[in-house]
Structure 1
Amino acid sequence: MSFYIDSSEMRVLEQNFGKVSGDVLKRTDEVLKKGAQNVKEELAADAATSRHFRALAGAMSYDSDYRPGQAAYEVGPDKNRRGGSLGNVYYFGTSRGGGTGDIDKPLRTEGPKLEQNLADLAEQFGRQL
């Protein structure tokens, strides 16, 4: 269970125009990293309010996932951290309960802001052509 936010649209823009500044990937990464941080913080805050799953809050993290010409982040509970194994129960439940966490809430909150920030960045680099 994790979120995957990628920058494929910026990569397409770069490929299509071929003249986009060399720092488009760096700037895209900055926008995505901020979005990943916001998603992580909201996931942690939501888990911290749970009576039974508050230990999960400290297990929230994000990792960068770079590929040639693309920056991406994976956000969610880290099973290697204390409380991280509670993530599946908190978000998806078992036959004995759980499933009370809303894994999509942070994306509903951050998604529109992230899209707007990426669109603004694309527009900024588009003006440079």
Structure 2
Amino acid sequence: MRDGSSELRQLATSLGHVAGGALKDVDAVLKKGVDNMKREMVADVSDSEHFKGMAGAISYESHYLPGTAKWVVGPDKSRHGGGLGNIYYFGTSRGGGTGDIDKPLRSEEPKTLRALADLLDRWADRL
């Protein structure tokens, strides 16, 4: 009878390396996607006669928790013109709401999902 504990330890070690390395790679894919979304948001708002002044307020930032990568993209209210974001995307009783906040996500989602699937294939080959 074989003792499978050494194989189990080897698998656990391999999975640990994959998890740590994969998070870094996943984060790089997400950052590229968020950067593309930011570029599209800036281009969209720059085409607006009334809201082009907030183009410089579009930014992104990352928020990390153990084992996760999270990115947030959109108008930053602390930057000049960033307060116009709510009006541009959601409107008020006086108007606005002409921006499509989901458009960059719809554009980028298939590319990011494809890149993540490719990444998964590459990491699966390492096991």
TM-score class normalised by the smaller sequence: 0.7 to 0.9
Shift of the alpha carbon at 1:19? 5.1
Q: How does 1:22-101 map to 2 (within 5 A)?
A: 22-101=20-99
Which whole-Å CA distance do the structure 2 matches of 1:119 and 1:57 have between them?
Answer: 32
- C-alpha RMSD over aligned residues: 1.6
**Equivalent position of 2:8 in the other structure:** none
Which of 15, 18, 40 aligns to 1:18? It is 15
Shift of the alpha carbon at 1:23? 1.3
Which whole-Å CA distance do the structure 2 matches of 1:60 and 1:89 have between them?
Answer: 14
Specify every segment of 5 or more residues in structure 2 that has no aligned partner in the other structure, as ranges. 1-11
Q: Residue type matched to 1:66 in 2?
A: Y
Percent identity over paired residues: 57
TM-score with structure 1 setting the length: 0.84
Structure 1 or 2: larger helix share?
2
Specify every segment of 5 or more residues in structure 1 that has no aligned partner in the other structure, as ranges. 1-14
Q: How many residues align?
A: 114
Secondary structure of 1:97 counterpart: coil
Shift of the alpha carbon at 1:18? 2.9
Which of 109, 112, 118 aligns to 2:110? It is 112
Aligned 8 A contact 1:44 1:58 in 2: yes
Which whole-Å CA distance do the structure 2 matches of 1:39 and 1:75 have between them?
Answer: 8
The higher radius of gyration belongs to: 2
